[in-house]
Amino acid sequence: MLLHIHPDNPQPRQIKAVVECLARGGVIIYPTDTIYGLGCDILQHKAIEKICRLKKVDPKKAQLSFICNSLSHLSDYSKQLPTSTYRILKEYLPGPYTFILPASKMVPKILQSKKDTIGLRVPDNNIAQAIVQELGRPILSASLPGENIEDYTDPEIMYENFMNEVDIVVDGGIGGIIPSTVIDCTKDHYEVIRKGLGEWPEEE
């Protein structure tokens, strides 16, 4: 279904409908502060497998992010971080960034890879934040399959393309075409893996 949700004041009833769908193992397309993404409940293995099938990737090798509504879930899914890293996260989040962090044992087994890392996102988007808050845990997120990002800005076109693949397409208005900036925080020096919408200081 195509579900219209107000981008500034998400209607609680609509958010509840999305969360009930996620808790049942549903897969959604939803807006962030960058591009629209595929999302599911991190505890629903079949939904994770479905997203990976859509993306044609192995769950353990997939580039999937945990979408949180604040840094409160950080200690659950990431190993203890140095104070300097935590400060950086606090400074840049919420915002259009994905931070690669060392994963804790709480990360569902289906997602545990040899690299033992997770991507953490706190998007500056009211709908995404409301969904996560109502669910009470992060949602797993991936970019939509394919290269043609222009198809992924209009929720009605996304609904036409994916109505048989996902349970809900959340219409929160026209989306962006630039993905998040990805920063690897697992090394001694933070490394920009992908330059996206988020500004990041150039190294001297």
d(CA 67, CA 52): 17
Please tell me the pTM assigned to this model.
0.93
d(CA 33, CA 11): 18
Which CATH architecture group holds 2-194? Alpha-Beta Complex (3.90)
d(CA 132, CA 54): 22
- The string of DSSP codes covering 93-134 is -SSSEEEEEEB-TTS-GGG--TT-EEEEE--S-HHHHHHHHH
Domain ranges of the chain: 2-194
Q: pLDDT grade, residue 90 (50/70/90)? A: very high
What is the identity of the amino acid at 73?
H
- Mean pLDDT over residues 48-76, rounded? 86
Give the chain's mean pLDDT: 91
Greatest Cα pair distance in the chain: 49
99 exposure class (CB count in 10 Å sphere: 0-12, 13-18, 19+): buried
pLDDT over 70 (residue 204): no
Q: pLDDT grade, residue 115 (50/70/90)? A: low
Residues 6+ apart with CB under 8 A from 168: 1, 2, 3, 17, 18, 21, 26, 28, 29
Q: pLDDT grade, residue 107 (50/70/90)? A: confident
pLDDT over 90 (residue 1): yes
Interval 7-16: pLDDT, tens: 999 999 999 9
pLDDT over 70 (residue 46): yes
Q: Which helix (H) or strand (E) holds 41?
A: strand 37-41
Lowest mean pLDDT among 48-52, 144-148, 194-198: 144-148
Interval 158-174: pLDDT, tens: 999 999 999 999 999 99
pLDDT over 70 (residue 28): yes
